[in-house]
Amino acid sequence: MLDRELLRLDASDMLSKVGSLPDQLRSGMDLAREAWKPLAGLKPDNLVIAGMGGSAIGAEILRSFAVGRLPVPIGICRDYSLPGFVGERSLVICSSYSGNTREALSCFDKALSAGAALGCVCSGGELLERASKHSVPYVKLPGGYPPRAAVGYSFAALLGLVVYTGMVDYGDDEVAECSETLEGLCRVYSAPDGGRNAALLIARSLLERIPLVYCGNCLAAVGLRWKNQFCENSKRLAFVGILPEMTHNDIMGWETDHEGIEPGVVFLRSSS
């Protein structure tokens, strides 16, 4: 167990919610298996996921994961209107954890008008009511989470979409392996400090600094997630830069003296 001071600061019990990610992944895939059956075999020309904030991060992770596997382009819409190319050959998924996000509801209506195939991911609210009214397939997520803490559910619902409709070849054994890896990481990062918990070491190094998260394009969704978590959980400014793009612009900002600003850089690395 972590020290009492840290647990006192975690008033919303975010630590245990993050620790539930392995169970969220497994449970979310189970929910998706049944929910998306009406869309099985669908071969759209494009996939568009409409969502905001914590309800969109699952889509970002899916795009990073599936960019080399999906046979069709995938777009993420963070707005009231869908892209102009959305039509009868499109598949639109509206994702809103609460089910009451205005932008997602607007995109639902526009997808219906465009004649697109449609699905929803939510825990209830107006989006669930509209999906039921129009016989639109949906994944109903468990309630009681801040949207950002339900990322395992939202990602699994979307992963299940592309797997169980036959758009991507990804087996249940791979889901099980990912869940086991997450469980191991949860144990490591919730362990007593002792100077060896990398999560706490990084956190303490950033206490008086503005976090700058840098990563490669394959980890773009992860970098965005880190940035968003700093902003939402810690109520502080944070920024993300994606390689190789940032070597053409962001990096120039390091050429001048930033008096009064103490940046803290976190590099997210992968085997690629």
Same domain? For 38 and 161 the reply is yes
Q: 169 and 35 share a domain?
A: yes
**Predicted pLDDT of residue 210:** 95
Q: Does one domain contain both 88 and 173?
A: yes
Read off the pLDDT of each residue in 227-239 and give the average, rounded to a whole number. Answer: 93
How large is the average pLDDT for residues 187-202? 80
Residue 213 lies in a domain: yes
pLDDT at residue 194 tops 70: no
Give the distance from CA 239 to its chain's centroid.
Answer: 17
- Give me the CATH number covering residue 217: 3.40.50.10490
Assigned domain for 199 exists: no
Q: Are residues 45 and 171 part of one domain?
A: yes
Stated as kind and residue range, the H or E segment containing 226 is helix 220-234
pLDDT in the model for residue 170: 82
Same structural domain, 133 and 22: yes
What is the pLDDT at residue 101? Answer: 97
C-alpha pair distances (Å), 270 with each of 31, 213, 225: 30, 14, 16
Mean pLDDT of 227-245: 94
My answer on whether 53 and 159 are in the same domain is: yes
Give the pLDDT of residue 175.
87
With respect to residue 46, please indicate whether it lies within any of the assigned structural domains. yes
Q: What is the end-to-end Cα distance of the chain in Å, rounded?
A: 34
Higher per-residue pLDDT: 29 or 67? 29
Is 193 domain-assigned?
A: no
- 82: exposed, middle or buried (Cβ count in 10 Å: 0-12, 13-18, 19+): buried
Number of structural domains in the chain: 2
Task: Tell whether the model's pLDDT for residue 2 goes beyond 70.
Answer: no
169 and 259 in a single domain? The answer is no
- 260 located within any domain: yes
Whether residues 258 and 221 fall in one domain: yes
**Shared-domain flag, residues 106 and 56:** yes
Neighbouring-strand partners of residue 90? 46
pTM for the whole structure = 0.91
Q: What is the pLDDT of residue 95?
A: 97
Average pLDDT over every residue of 72-79: 96
Q: Is pLDDT at 222 greater than 50 in this prediction?
A: yes
Cα-based distances in Å from 186 to 16, 18, 23, 155, 242: 9, 8, 12, 18, 26
Confidence grade of residue 37 (pLDDT, cut at 50, 70, 90):
very high
Looking at per-residue pLDDT, the higher value among 131 and 169 belongs to 131
Q: With respect to residue 140, please indicate whether it lies within any of the assigned structural domains.
A: yes
- In the chain, the percentage of residues whose pLDDT exceeds 90 is 71
Average pLDDT, the chain: 92
Mean pLDDT to the nearest integer, 52-73: 91
Mean pLDDT of 71-99: 96
Average pLDDT in the 74-90 region? 97
Kind and range of the H or E run holding 139: strand 138-140
Same domain, 129 and 237: no
Which of residues 177 and 1 earns the better pLDDT score?
Answer: 177
Find the domain containing 221 and state its range.
206-268
Of 84, 85, 92, which is closest to residue 127 (Cα–Cα)? 92
Using one digit for the tens of pLDDT, what is the confidence trace for 197-209? 888 889 989 998 9
Shared domain check, 153 and 217: no
What pLDDT score was predicted for residue 1? 45
